[in-house]
Amino acid sequence: MSSPPHSGAPSPAPELSAASETRLRGEPLLDGLEQHIPGSRLHADATAAYAFALGVEVGLGRDECELLRETARVHDVGKLYLPDWLLTEPPGQLSASERGQLHSHEGLGHKVALGAGIGEEPCAWILHSRERFDGEGEGGLAGQGIPLASRIIRVACSYDVLLHQQAVATPDEGRHAALAWLRASGGAELDPTLVEALARVLQRAARTV
């Protein structure tokens, strides 16, 4: 059987998944963030990996885990619009207004990601990723009222930041110290069930090394 004649019209591009679209739209933002804050990509990729593992651990579906991973990768893009001196100054030396400006980057990130064409759902996850589990955050959301993905991103981000702040002799000591801080913040800043889920993920990973 002969094949049908070619019309000459281009074939329609395959529709991208939400995760693939988020990655595509987020790449230029990450390039700019890396230039503004060297090392940002390493933190973005680590946060994304922890977020994906946490999503799997708590039973999210594959598609949602993939979208969560790509959203976690761009969770810091609001820092593109913060001055570099503010990002490098020790937090203890910042005034209350400067700390407020520093902590505004999730709201900025939400706007930047929307402007880049990232979907409304992942942008909302970025917006709420600074909410405190106890409801004392700026948005006033608390507990289960905070999107699960936002709570996961906050735990994943906090762990990676803490892991690189510890003055310890071995990686194991760094992991234990970071987890101890997360557990101390469980129920206040962080979702304690997600902190324990991360502890399980890390324990299994350590056994395979």
Residues 163 and 154: their CA atoms lie apart, in Å, by 14
Q: Is 189 helix (H, G, I), strand (E, B) or coil?
A: coil
Residue 106: count of CB within 10 angstroms of its CB: 25
pTM of the model: 0.87
The CATH number for 60's domain is 1.10.3210.10
Asked if residue 3 is part of any domain, the answer here is no
- Sign of the Cα torsion 90, 93, 98, 99 reads positive
Q: Provide the residue range defining the domain that includes 115.
A: 18-208
Number of domains in the chain: 1
What pLDDT shows up at residue 174?
84
Asked if residue 11 is part of any domain, the answer here is no
Asked if residue 145 is part of any domain, the answer here is yes
| Per-residue pLDDT of the chain in tens (209 residues, 90 and over written 9) | 444 444 454 444 457 899 999 999 999 999 999 999 899 999 999 999 999 999 999 999 999 999 999 999 999 999 988 887 877 777 677 788 877 777 777 888 999 999 999 999 999 999 999 899 999 888 889 999 999 999 999 999 999 999 887 766 677 888 888 999 999 998 999 999 999 999 999 988 887 75
Asked if residue 10 is part of any domain, the answer here is no
Tokens coding 131 = 């909410």
Asked if residue 5 is part of any domain, the answer here is no
Cα–chain-centroid distance for residue 109?
Answer: 11
Asked if residue 193 is part of any domain, the answer here is yes
Asked if residue 165 is part of any domain, the answer here is yes
Asked if residue 9 is part of any domain, the answer here is no
